[in-house]
Amino acid sequence: MFSGFFKRVINSLQLQSHGRTSHRIHQWFKWLSPGLVVKRWLLISVGGVVLASLGLAIWVKLTPIFWILEFLTGLLAFFADIFPNYISGPLLLLSGVLLLLWGQYRTVGSITEVLRPEGEEEELIDVLLAHRRLYRGPKIVVIGGGTGLSTLLRGLKTYSANITAVVTVADDGGSSGRLREEFGVLPPGDIRNCLAALADEERLLTELFQYRFRAGDGLTGHSFGNLFLTAMTDIAGDLEQAIAASSKVLAVKGQVLPATLSDVRLWAELTDGRRIEGESNIPKAEGKIVKIGCIPENPPALPAAIKAIEEADYIIIGPGSLYTSLIPNLLVREIADAIAATDIPRIYICNIMTQPGETDGYSVSDHIQAIDKACDNKRLFDAVLVHKKIPSAQALIRYAQQNAHPVFLDREAVIRLGRRIIPANILFEDENGAVRHDPQKLAKVLLKWYSGAHHNKK
């Protein structure tokens, strides 16, 4: 009977391809990887079985155990008479190992069926290893707003789950502006984009959050995500609590925080003497900005944002619109002061193209000087990441029609400002010639630079 069972096991194993067997064995051994906290519980379980067996034997005064041992001894002696020990020993050992592996495989398979989402092909052990790796990643704080920030977050979340996005709340245009005026809430647009970018089901959630109503009294032009966050703010009491609750619902990796909970209004002074108020009105003024500020003049920072900066391993500023996405965060003086006080790797991601109405004709050094000026010349970053490859002719023509051009790298001026230049090919260009940062390429370069800078600081 036993030999027949063993033959069936051997035959079933031989029917499987060598490649599949090797893959399965490799998957089993992954359960012994450091950091999964599996080995210790397995040993504790074995210890529990041994102690329970010992307790039972003592309880029953060893009488049944004695007869069981006698029976097994006789059985083993019988097999030893038929099969030599150099055959029976390995056979029993191999059979035990096969049964153990089979039982563990079926156990893990049952757990996987419950925990793995329908249609998901990834092994449970790979999911666990990825989870451990992400939550052991560096604590990254990203400062910014607009589409540039959400683009960056899509790439960074593959390297770390310890991400904090500090987002501007100065937006007053479009759906966010209307909700701000009608409901008195802080603008949810940039926060909505960041939550979608950090969510597990990013593609579906992005489509849902970006969906704009095309009909209905009062609904036309509003995005679903903005209405969702507005409703959550009303339920939770403030935007910070609304974001926290939304993050749990959406399974967000990391956290998104507004720079301040104050009702901030941007203003800019132009070279021609005009003073423009309102974030959405500044680019439309089509003038050169000489000074930018906000009302109230010194809004209090969100305490959680300051704490994240103080505990960060790595700070990234940008990418995004210089005067209407990045600098508004730094006008919250406590945030600028907290960044300046850190002694960790800090980098600024310069935009690839100039932005009409904000950075017409700006070089890389002009971007850096604008940030320094807005922060009373505090040194907020040590290096600047710039794209080193010129976009295609199609893209250049498209942007030239909008009076936008590649940001010129004036290398010597940047070096005089005491910043290290990190050149990299981080551009993504779609079929229409629209230029933006590639999330994965950008994140890869940023983490590579962080590893080197972190090692040097040690």
CB atoms within 10 A of CB 220: 11
Burial of 147 (C-beta count, 10 Å sphere; 0-12/13-18/19+): middle
Q: Which residues of the chain carry a pLDDT beneath 50? A: 1-10, 12-13, 15-17
Q: What would the pLDDT profile of 10-60 be if each residue is shown by its tens digit?
A: 454 454 445 555 655 666 566 566 655 556 666 777 777 777 877 777 776
Could you tell me if residue 385 is left (phi over 0), alpha (psi between -120 and 50 degrees) or otherwise beta? beta
Burial 324-347 (b: 16+ CB within 10 A, else e): bbbbbbbbbbbbbbbbbebebbbb
Q: What angle separates helix 239-250 from helix 224-236, to the nearest 10 degrees?
A: 120
Are 402 and 432 within 8 A, CB to CB?
A: no
Identify the pLDDT of residue 371.
96
Burial of 117 (C-beta count, 10 Å sphere; 0-12/13-18/19+): exposed
H-helix or E-strand spanning residue 314: strand 314-317
Identify the pLDDT of residue 17.
47
Identify the pLDDT of residue 228.
86
Residue among 341, 224, 324 at smallest CA distance from 279:
324
Identify the pLDDT of residue 13.
45
Q: What would the pLDDT profile of 289-307 be if each residue is shown by its tens digit?
A: 999 999 999 899 999 999 9
Strands 265-270 and 275-277, bridge-based pairing: antiparallel
125-129 contacts at long range (C-beta below 8 A, 24 or more positions apart): 125/27, 125/30, 125/31, 126/30, 128/36, 129/30, 129/33, 129/36
Amino acid type, 270: L
Residue among 389, 381, 252, 230 at smallest CA distance from 319:
381
Q: What would the pLDDT profile of 206-256 be if each residue is shown by its tens digit?
A: 777 778 887 766 677 788 888 888 888 888 888 888 888 888 878 888 999
Q: What would the pLDDT profile of 256-266 be if each residue is shown by its tens digit?
A: 999 999 999 99
DSSP 8-class letter at 199: B
Identify the pLDDT of residue 330.
96
Report yes or no on whether pTM surpasses 0.85. no
Tokens encoding 379: 């040194």
Q: What angle separates helix 189-198 from helix 224-236, to the nearest 10 degrees?
A: 100
SS3 state at 66: helix
CA angle at residue 315 from 134 to 192, to 5 degrees?
Answer: 70
SS3 state at 9: helix
